[in-house]
Amino acid sequence: MGVMKRMSGILQAKTNKLLDKAEDPRESLDLSYQKLQENLQKVRRSVADVTTAKKRIELQAAQLQGQADKLQQQAKDALGQDREDLAREALARRAALGPQLAELQTQHQQVADQEQKLITTAQNLQLQVDAFRMKKETMKATYTAAEAQTKIGEAVSGISESMGDAGMSVQRAQEKIDSMQARAGAMDELLASGALTDLTNPVDDIQAQLDQVSTTNAVDADLAALKAELGAASPAQLGTAESAAADTTEPLA
Amino acid sequence: MIVRILGEGQYEVAEDDRNGIHALESELNDAVESDNDDQFVAALAAVIEEVRRVGTPLAADTFASSDRVLPFSDSTLDETKALLAEPGADDD
């Protein structure tokens, strides 16, 4: 037997489990309607779960991206201060974040796909809930007991199949989220422990060295300014101004 | 013939268009039997595309059972095999 026929049998088996056979076929209409509504609620809750999972991944990606951007800026600053060694280190650390960002992007795409599918499932079910609400009253009023037996049976089977499909969609989304939760948890721990944040912490080693270079440059500039000031104040000592300035400013350095 | 694509909905496929779908389905069956992941993904995409192309989506107020059911459009072979191992696969 082909895959499509076997799948049909599986869905049918799930459907039969969903449906309690009511004594009166008319009652089964109300029962199905009630189940359909419960089913729709379940799908909606699942959409909310998937959206939460997606937001979590977005948050982690934003944190990682922020760190990558910061390292990029540090590399620029280092080059500006002629510290190619530091720039290289910053860029190497930035590159190390790449695979983790790519992994998060893949996960994000998967979760977004699931979200879209579930939203479509919810929309379709909503349409069916609305249509079924009207149809079941018409059926109850129109059919004789004998007709009801078959016609209502068909409609109920059809609607149950939709519920079976929706149930499988929800279960599938949940399984995907569950498998992602473990990895997301590990990433959260990594981010929280500082194993990643340490790289870009304001007092990290690259920043400390950059700050030191900045301080040294600032002192050099102050020195030069002082020398210039002394030189201007004592034009008579022009010849010795340079050594005098150096002596004067030595304790400052 | 009514075909359901899991997670998507039902399509009515006219008598004349069945053969095309059956031909593509045998490719899908082969992929499952020979456990070929790439072939499965390609065959599933092809048969789903054909159902969407020739089929007419069933209106929301049509409540009918499907004659054939296709896995989720982004299903993997492993996932489908797990599903096919569930009860009901051999019932008619």
pLDDT in tens, B14-59: 999 999 999 999 999 999 999 999 999 999 999 999 999 999 999 8
CB atoms near residue A15 (< 10 Å): 22
Span A77-93, pLDDT tens digits: 889 888 888 888 889 88
Report the percentage of chain A scoring pLDDT > 90: 19
Sequence-distant (6+) residues with CB within 8 A of A121 are A43, A165, A166, A169, A170, B7
- Neighbouring CB atoms inside 10 A of A192's CB total 10
Q: Residue A29's closest chain B neighbor by CA?
A: B63
B9 phi/psi in degrees, rounded to 5: 140, -170
ipTM metric: 0.89
Please tell me which of the candidates A10, A121, A165 has its beta carbon nearest to residue B86: A10
Residues of A with Cβ-Cβ distance to B80 under 8 angstroms: 3
* B57–chain A Cβ distance below 8 A for any pair: no
Cβ(B51)–Cβ(B8) below 8 Å: no
Is the CB of residue A161 less than 8 Å from the CB of residue B4? yes
Q: What residues pair up with B56 in beta bridges, in sequence order?
A: B12
Q: Which of A10, A156, A165 sits opposite B89 (nearest CB)?
A: A10
DSSP states of A104-166: HHHHHHHHHHHHHHHHHHHHHHHHHHHHHHHHHHHHHHH--HHHHHHHHHHHHHHHHHHHHHH
**Phi/psi at A155 (5° precision):** -60, -40
| pTM value > 0.80 | no
- The token duo for A110 is 């998967």
Paired with A233 in beta bridges are none
φ and ψ of B5, to 5 deg: -100, 120
Which residues of chain B does A47 touch, with a Cβ-Cβ cutoff of 8 Å? Answer: none
Q: Which residue has the tokens 């422990």?
A: A193
